[in-house]
Amino acid sequence: MKKKYDFIIKGAYGGSNFGDDLLMLAIVHIIKKTNPTSSIGLILNRKSKYIENYNLNTDLIYPDNTTDIVTNHLILGGGTQYFEFYKSKKNKFKDFFIKLFNIKKVIKKLKQKRKYNLEFTSCSAISFGIGPFHSKNTINYFEAIKNLKKCTFLSIRDYDSEKFCKQNNIQYIKHTDICFNLDNFGYKYPLSNANKVTKIGIIVRDWIYDDNNQAYIFKLIKVSKELKSKGYDVDFITFTPISDSYVTSILKEKKENIIIYNPDIYNIDQFITILSDYNLLISARAHGAIVATYLGIPTILIEIEPKLKNIEMEITKKQLLWSPYIDKEEKLINLVYSISNNYSYWKNTVFTANKHHKSLVDALLCDYEKYLKELN
């Protein structure tokens, strides 16, 4: 028996992650607006009850689903879905033992029934990021080429994704990330009217590909203490209660102020309101910078991976970038002081980026809505 849908939306959904939840809600909104009576299935990576609270009027397809699915159109719904980071021998060895001794997961896998098949007539991808790949000779690299060539509409968000498409003869349109303009999806926030830096949010995450055991968090704690000694109000922020457990435990141990996005406590609107209260953000998350730009808040990107540099290229052309693997704490502190001393300049820079990316999102929606109408 097969379950049929007009649309299936696939992304990294259900993991209690602020950025992925935001993408999910935006993309469902687009489909509902253009095809209000269509049947929609939403593929989730994790069984998460909180998604039901959004009342999306979609079928939620969990990882343990065994019913085969047929859809007229598959949507790869934003974010970076194809990548492969280099893992050192130390990290590979560590992963092996984690998997070996995780008895619960082993038993669950043995009990799991066969995975469902997904058949689709056409496919599109929007607000999409591709890579990085530590080697071109990986399964994920070839899977990305094969699957993205099936897309009859592919909208990418950054220069590295564009480079990947050009190198592999994949048809694409370069727009931007749809979260640069949340006005289109039922949200409306005024641009920040702050005139100086008093409150700083540092958005952090676990990063398992770091050979130095995620030592960047200790650098940031030193930076936080220095900034607080100069009178700034500083909080740490994480975008998920599930995948950021290491940095969260370190921050709690060091008695740092920490705000955690937890969809069982905050809805999206409430969490954006929390972010809007900061005058400056320092972010190791792409959607930290993207939402900050939408809100008109200057952001320093923490380059723990190439994606952060790509996003910063889209905002201030790498002017506000700090690499914890190369740069000392002093460089980040000096960037904060530079923004604080020239706040009106950086606010205007962000306002310019805000206007530019809002127009790109408008163009993306116009192109995509036209594409969806042609499908019918």
Residue 6 has pLDDT above 70, yes or no: yes
Same domain, 367 and 339: no
pLDDT at 96: 45
Assess if residue 113 is contained within a domain: no
**Burial (CB count within 10 angstroms: exposed 0-12, middle 13-18, buried 19+), residue 85:** middle
Same domain, 71 and 212: no
Assess if residue 125 is contained within a domain: yes
**Got the DSSP string for 5-46?**
EEEEEESS-SS--HHHHHHHHHHHHHHHHH-TT--EEEE-SS
Same domain, 158 and 214: no
Assess if residue 213 is contained within a domain: yes
DSSP conformational letter for 138: S
**Could you read off the pLDDT of 183-205 as tens digits, one per residue?**
988 888 889 999 999 999 999 99
pLDDT at 50: 94
pLDDT at 130: 93
**Is residue 230 within 8 Å of residue 112, measured between CB atoms?**
no
d(CA 4, CA 128): 25
Token readout for 139 is 């399964």
CB atoms within 10 A of CB 87: 15
Assess if residue 225 is contained within a domain: yes
Determine the structural domain holding residue 253 and report its residue range: 199-356
Same domain, 48 and 67: yes
Same domain, 33 and 55: yes
Q: Which amino acid is at 204?
A: V
Same domain, 364 and 327: no
Same domain, 150 and 14: yes
Assess if residue 348 is contained within a domain: yes
3-state SS assignment for residue 123: strand
Specify the range with the lowest mean pLDDT, choosing from 95-99, 184-188, 244-248, 290-294: 95-99
**Could you read off the pLDDT of 268-300 as tens digits, one per residue?**
999 999 999 999 999 999 999 999 999 999 999
Find the angle CA(373)-CA(188)-CA(359) to the nearest 5 degrees.
55
Q: Are strands 153-156 and 118-133 parallel, antiparallel or unpaired?
A: parallel
d(CA 179, CA 202): 20
Same domain, 335 and 228: yes
**Is residue 41 within 8 Å of residue 107, measured between CB atoms?**
no
d(CA 243, CA 178): 24
**CATH number reported for the structural domain that contains residue 343 in this entry:** 3.40.50.2000
- Mean pLDDT (the chain) is 90
**Could you read off the pLDDT of 313-323 as tens digits, one per residue?**
889 877 899 99
Q: Which amino acid is at 30?
A: I
Same domain, 154 and 282: no
pLDDT at 93: 46
Q: How many domains does the chain have?
A: 2
pLDDT at 88: 53
DSSP conformational letter for 136: S
**CATH number reported for the structural domain that contains residue 53 in this entry:** 3.40.50
